[in-house]
Amino acid sequence: MTAIRTFYDFINYHHRRFSPIVLFAYRRDTGNNDCLALSINRRYSINMRYNYLIFATLAATLLLAVFAHPDAGRAETCKSTAPDALGPMYKPDAQVRSNVGTGYVLSGMVKSSRDCAPVKGAKLEFWLAGPDKEYDDKHRATMFSEASGAYRFESNFPPGYFGRPPHIHVRVSAVGFGTLVTQHYPKSGTTGAIFDLVLIPEQ
């Protein structure tokens, strides 16, 4: 609507700008000053052709913008986080905490895929293998996203096992959103990563 309004104002401006020239040419012509009237009319004709070209270009640009970008003007959207396997080691009701070790910090935002808005109070569940490559309750945690959607979870760097790469399991649930089950795969030699968790709103 803003682009259309701007186009409308542009046309009105040029209409007002050139209207006096038409009237002046007419008055001079009725005074039998044909040369002056002809000169002004020619200039007016050239100007109008130029402005018609501008109008046509603007109109074409607006149409292309609308058809090429149908979502223009809509709220920003975020790509939802890809799901991954839950695995056999999930256990609900882990202790509420944000730290189960040291050496690796996973942080980020919980967001809505609809408009990228932060999701406050989302329940995040983490579980991973300990340094001994075993799963136990000491390496499980539950926490909740802040008002800004932010979270921060610290653990040991998860070891790989049985041919699987290092990974941290994550399960995220929130009112009004589908539950997300995914995994984060730390890169070797790193001490942390940013991992945004983007949820899909329920219909």
- In the chain, where are the structural domains located? 2-68, 104-199
pTM score above 0.75: no
Domain 104-199 has CATH 3.40.50.300: no
pLDDT higher for 32 or 72?
32
pLDDT at 40: 40
Residues in the chain: 203
The 10s digit of each residue's pLDDT in 133-175 is: 999 999 999 999 999 999 999 999 999 999 999 999 999 999 9
Structural tokens at position 111: 């967001």
Structural tokens at position 88: 């056999």
The 10s digit of each residue's pLDDT in 164-203 is: 999 999 999 999 999 999 999 999 999 999 999 999 999 8
Radius of gyration over alpha carbons of the chain, in Å? Answer: 32
Q: What share of the chain is helix, strand, coil (3-state, %, to 5)?
A: 35, 25, 45
Dihedral over alpha carbons 10, 16, 17, 22 (to 10 degrees): 130
Contact 119, 145 (CB under 8 A): yes
The 10s digit of each residue's pLDDT in 83-113 is: 999 999 999 999 999 999 999 999 999 999 9
What's the pLDDT band for 46 if we cut at 50, 70, 90? very low
